Structure 1
Amino acid sequence: MANIKDIARLAGVSVATVSRVLNDHPYVSEAKRAAVQEVVHRLNYSRNVNAVHLITGKTNMVGVVIPYLNLPYFNSIMEGIAQEALEANVHLLVSQTNYAADKETELLNMLKIKQIDGLLICSRSLEWEVIEAYSQFGPIIACEYIESDRISSVHIDHYGSFRLAMQLLLEKGHTRIGYCLGRGHSFNSRNRRRAFSDALSSAGVPVREEWMFYQIYSIEDGAEVVRSILDMEERPTALLVAGDQVAAGIISEAVKNGLRVPEDLAIVSFDNHPIAQLFDITTIDNRLVEIGRTAFSLLLKRLQDPASPVEHRELPFRLIERATV
């Protein structure tokens, strides 16, 4: 198998020149570059990537911790990450964890032993104190709010966005309001519930636990919410729904059962996916693709300049009023 010395001999150049060509160094004459590339092609030479990693200490690969690839919320964040990674010519190692702590730990240990250069965390089950201990081995970026001087983050104000949605419903005269969330105990879900409770308290309206639904992720989950509501003696007249796919399922099942939207059941959703426009759903744009793009740019900045400071960026959200309120 040919090595770099063989290429140098056949091309009539130094080993250093071959190295510069293979690493796309700019300071090589066109004639020498062409001679090296011709020999590389003739010998069908490929570099030993592991050896390059040992020499440079870099893999040109970053890890992504993502709970579920098939959920539109995380899929949109992943889209933003992938766009930036492609532009930067950085490879992604994506691990779907299903919120399993051991799967998250696997990626953290890969960072520790230098199999990846950095780590992006879309959402997680491990405590941040555990994750922070690994930041000494490479940059870690969170796609949610975190108070840390070791891990950078990008997020939106989930409390503020939920409070804005509640304000809209209250202004429309709704007081019998429920909500649909994913994980009830996550940081974002806790903030959303707090905003929900604070808004009702300010309006002098009690919280009705029977109108709160958790582990709601899909179109079918949304349909099941409607079936549950139909069995209630007293029903909510409005729902906050943490996801446009769920909202679409609610609307479809509501119409099927003779409920009018928004007259009988008003809906404010979140994320502003294409399905929200298709179903004309009032929604909060969470800037998910931009969260992914920003998270990767923060990681790339830390990779290029390890001395750069930790940053925490909050992106603005916006209410898009359509036909469901």
Structure 2
Amino acid sequence: MADNGFAPMIGIVEVAALAGVSPATVSRALRGLPGVSAGTRQNVEKAAASLGYYASPSAAALTTGRTRAIGVMAPWISRWFFSAVIEGAQEVVGEQGYDTLLYPLGANAAPNAVGVIDTRALHKRVDGILGLNVPLGLQPSSLVNLRIPLVTVGSIIPGVSGVLVDDIEVGYSATCHLIRLGHRRIAFLGHDPDGLYGFTVAADRERGFEKALQENRIPVDPGLVGMTGFSIEGGSKALINLWEQTGKRVELMPTAVFAVSDEVAFGIIYAARQNGLRVPQDISVIGVDNHDMSYLFELTTIGQPVRDQGRIAARMLLDHVRINEPAAPEVVRMNPGLITRRTTCAPRVDARGLPTGV
């Protein structure tokens, strides 16, 4: 027969022949089923490894009901927060011998689809689900009805275990830092267009921002609140909008900005410097996350242990999977912390030594 350039297909029959056992024994040994001696199991595994044969996960699932896979449901995977959470979770999942199946919500995260997300793609393919920032509009039954363990990160579904930081506290802490430095005219650049879909992070951080202002008897100025989403470009555009609205006059600009995320802060810093504004002398900037690149910008930020949230959530989920029965929900709240660098300082002053932008 002519050589077609392809290696011959290795199957369970070839493994059985090399190991000197029946195909049924190979099947039971590689799926971890009882009724196979330790010596035989070891012999079969050695034969399979030498031939490069791996048991089909779907076939194993039919027998054991387990897929040895964890599903990760995320609205975006390009944003740093989500990729970092997934990285932390994958460390734990991989160490425990599980695979990860990524399920981006993508276009499903829309007002007419949030409540009816099709989870059939996950049915019988995963043993549990990590839900990252599951939007409030998503009907919990869409996930709960899968009848497999679910743990959320960054948001909470009633009756479901989760890991998160208090985003109201995040916004409050960031704004209080600026107020302690003497700032009174503070902008919040962080409105999120995706908030329409039920994502609450930006709205909660804004609530913390307003709480700090109100406690210090500082009026909330709607003109100092801008739309950014969570992108660098959004931060740049929002800062430029403020700059143009004030007639490009430094004395009319806010003396400080609370950015909803570090990525938004990066864009703000870039746009400020491109337009001749000094950071922090003319405008202080604080972000959220402690992004891997935040130190390059010397950015003051409210840090949160993002990868640790992924690790903790993955351990919780695998514990639920192993128990294989409903477990009491557990919510782990991580503590954010102020990281002071060089993008915040006391507000600029005028010729009389009084703060400007008041």
Q: Would you call these one fold, judging by a TM-score over 0.5?
A: yes
TM-score range, shorter chain: 0.7 to 0.9
Is 1:285 the counterpart of 2:296? The answer is no
Q: 1:41 to 1:192 in 2, by over 3 A?
A: closer
Is 1:232 the counterpart of 2:232? The answer is no
Is 1:305 the counterpart of 2:323? The answer is yes
Q: 1:316 to 1:219 in 2, by over 3 A?
A: same
Map 1:21-32 → 2, pairs under 5 A: 21-23=29-31, 28-30=37-39, 32=40
Offset of residue 165 of structure 1: 1.1
Write out per-residue CA displacement over residues 167-194 of structure 1, whole angstroms, 9 at most, x where no aligned residue.
1111111111111225263322222121
Q: 1:192 to 1:312 in 2, by over 3 A?
A: same
Q: 1:10 to 1:220 in 2, by over 3 A?
A: closer
Map 1:115-194 → 2, pairs under 5 A: 115-125=125-135, 127=137, 130-132=139-141, 134-136=143-145, 137-146=147-156, 148-149=158-159, 151-181=160-190, 183=192, 185=195, 186-194=199-207
Q: 1:94 to 1:46 in 2, by over 3 A?
A: closer
Distance across 2 between alignment mates of 1:21 and 1:269: 53
Map 1:263-278 → 2, pairs under 5 A: 263-278=281-296
Aligned to 2:215: 202
Percentage of matched positions with identical amino acids: 30
Aligned to 1:90: 98
- Does the aligned pair in 1 maintain the 2:192–2:227 contact within 8 Å? yes
Aligned to 2:312: 294
Offset of residue 281 of structure 1: 0.5
- Does the aligned pair in 2 maintain the 1:20–1:28 contact within 8 Å? no
Offset of residue 271 of structure 1: 0.6
Distance across 2 between alignment mates of 1:272 and 1:49: 38
Structure 1 length as normaliser, TM-score? 0.87
Offset of residue 235 of structure 1: 2.0
Task: Mark the runs of 5 or more structure 2 residues left unpaired by the alignment.
Answer: 1-8, 247-251, 345-358
Q: 1:172 to 1:225 in 2, by over 3 A?
A: same
Distance across 2 between alignment mates of 1:78 and 1:228: 34
Q: 1:284 to 1:47 in 2, by over 3 A?
A: same
Aligned to 1:246: 264
SS at match of 1:231: helix
Offset of residue 127 of structure 1: 2.7
Offset of residue 48 of structure 1: 3.9
SS at match of 1:120: strand
- Does the aligned pair in 2 maintain the 1:67–1:122 contact within 8 Å? yes
Distance across 1 between alignment mates of 2:312 and 2:51: 42
Distance across 2 between alignment mates of 1:44 and 1:202: 66
Aligned to 1:319: 338
Count the aligned residue pairs. Answer: 321
Offset of residue 155 of structure 1: 0.4
Offset of residue 122 of structure 1: 0.9
Q: 1:320 to 1:107 in 2, by over 3 A?
A: farther
| Residue identity in the other structure for 2:181 | K
**Alpha-carbon RMSD:** 2.8
SS at match of 2:133: coil
- Does the aligned pair in 2 maintain the 1:65–1:107 contact within 8 Å? no
Aligned to 2:351: none
- Does the aligned pair in 2 maintain the 1:110–1:116 contact within 8 Å? no
| Residue range with higher mean Cα deviation, 198-207 or 35-44 | 35-44
Q: 1:63 to 1:46 in 2, by over 3 A?
A: closer
Offset of residue 305 of structure 1: 0.7
Write out per-residue CA displacement over residues 64-104 of structure 1, whole angstroms, 9 at most, x where no aligned residue.
11122111121211211221121122111112223624488
Write out per-residue CA displacement over residues 212-252 of structure 1, whole angstroms, 9 at most, x where no aligned residue.
12243222222212211211233211111122122122112
Is 1:214 the counterpart of 2:232? The answer is no
Structure 2 length as normaliser, TM-score? 0.80
SS at match of 1:239: strand
- Does the aligned pair in 2 maintain the 1:239–1:266 contact within 8 Å? yes
Aligned to 2:82: 74
Write out per-residue CA displacement over residues 97-154 of structure 1, whole angstroms, 9 at most, x where no aligned residue.
236244885563344x3222211111233535x22463251111111242622x1110
Q: 1:35 to 1:305 in 2, by over 3 A?
A: closer
| Residue range with higher mean Cα deviation, 209-218 or 274-283 | 209-218
Task: Mark the runs of 5 or more structure 1 residues left unpaired by the alignment.
Answer: none
| Residue range with higher mean Cα deviation, 133-142 or 291-300 | 133-142
